[in-house]
Amino acid sequence: MVRARNTALGLVILVFASVLPLAEGEVHGSAPFALPFAEPPGVSTWFVSQWYGNTVTAYRNRAVLYRAGQGLHFGVDFAARCGTIVRAIGDGIVVAVDGPYGAAPHNVVIAHPNGYRSLYGHLLERSPLQVGQRVQQGDPVGKVGDPASPNCDRAPHLHLEIRDASMRRAFNPVSLIEADWRRLTLGLTLPGQRFVLPYESPMQWRTPWDQPDVTFGGILLNEWQDTWPR
C-alpha cells in the first residue's frame, strides 16, 4: 500500500517535471532578462567584446584566467567606457557585494525569482547596493571598471554572468537575455567575438548560441593541442 502510494506520488512528480519544460519553453520564447545598459550600443558607448563560451581569447587564457570555469569564458564581456552605469538585468534581491566570485576589483550578485543569479563583474568601485536590498530591472547596480588598469585605459568592460542559485554553474547569457545579439558586436571581429575551431571536433561550440554550461571547478573542456587559431 505504501509502495503504491509512493509510486503514485512519484508519478505525479515525474509528470509534473516532464511538463515543466513546456512552461520553461514559453519563458524562453521571450528571454527573462534584459541588457545591462540603458544606452544603445555603439563605438562610443558599449558593445559585446567577448561572447560566452569557447572564444579564441578564452582558449588562449584557459589555463590561468578561465581555469576555474572549465577553460571557457563563463560570461559575456561588454566593452564600455569606465563609469558607464550598469543596470540590473531583472528584478531581484542583492545577495552579494564584493563576494568571493572573482571579476575584480568589485562585483555584485543579484538573485532572481526564476532561480537564476546575475553577476556583474569588474565594477569601478564598490556598489552602493546593500545585501538584501530589492532591485528592479534597469536599476543601477554600479559602474563599469577596468580589471587591468586603475587609469581605465586598457580593458574597460563589464563581465556579466548568469549562474544557478548555488553559484556552481554558469549559463550562456545569450539565451537568457532578450536582445538582438547579432548587432551587439558592431561587426568588429575581435578575437573574443570568434570561436576556436578544434581540429578534432571542428563543429563543436562555434557560434554564440551553441555553447555549453560551465560547472565551476570542473575539468577543462577546451584542452585541445591543435586548433585554429591558436
Partner 1 sequence: MSGRTPGHGERVLWRYFLPILAATLFGVLVSCRFQGIGPAAHPTALYSATALPSSTPASLDGMVSTPTPTSRRELLTRTVPKEALGDWTASPTVQPTAEDRSEIVAAECCGVFAWAGVDWLLVYDVEPRPGGWLVNVVSGERRWIAPRFGVPGADVIAVPDPISGRTTLFRWDGSSGGTIENGGAIVYPDATGRWIAWSVAEEYAVPSSAVSRISRVMVLDRASGETHFVGRLRVSALAWSGVGSELLVVGETPEDSQAGLWVATPPSSGLHLVKEGRFFVNLRPVPGTRSVLVTQVLSGEPKDDGVWLIDLDRGALQHLPIETNYRVAQKSVWVLQWGEEHDRLIGYSLPDLEVCASAELGDQVLSDVWEIAPDGRWVAYWRTSDQRVVVEPLPGCHAGSQG
The footprint of partner 1 on residues 41-100 (CB under 8 A) is 43-44, 47, 49-50, 57-58, 60-61, 64-66, 73, 77, 79-81
Does 39 help bind partner 1 (rule: CB under 8 A)?
Answer: no
Does 153 help bind partner 1 (rule: CB under 8 A)?
Answer: yes
Piece of the chain touching partner 1 by CB under 8 A; list 16-24, 32-40, 108-116, 128-136: 16-24
Q: φ, ψ for residue 216 (rounded to 5)?
A: -65, 135
Q: How many residues bind to partner 1 according to rule CB under 8 A?
A: 71
Q: Is the Cβ–Cβ distance between 167 and 101 less than 8 Å?
A: yes
Q: Which residue from 205, 227, 220 is spatially nearest to 67, judged by alpha carbons? A: 220
DSSP 162-213: EE-TTSSEEE-GGGTB-S-GGGGGTT---GGGSB-EETTSTTSS-STT----
Q: Is the Cβ–Cβ distance between 137 and 88 less than 8 Å?
A: yes
Out of 125, 128, 150, 209, the only residue in the binding site for partner 1 (CB under 8 A) is: 209
Draw the binding track, 186-205, toward partner 1 (x: CB under 8 A; -: no contact).
xxxxx-xxxx-x-x--xx--
Q: φ, ψ for residue 69 (rounded to 5)?
A: -105, 40
Query: In terms of CB distance, is 178 or 199 closer to partner 1?
Result: 199
Out of 100, 132, 182, 219, the only residue in the binding site for partner 1 (CB under 8 A) is: 182
Does 118 help bind partner 1 (rule: CB under 8 A)?
Answer: no
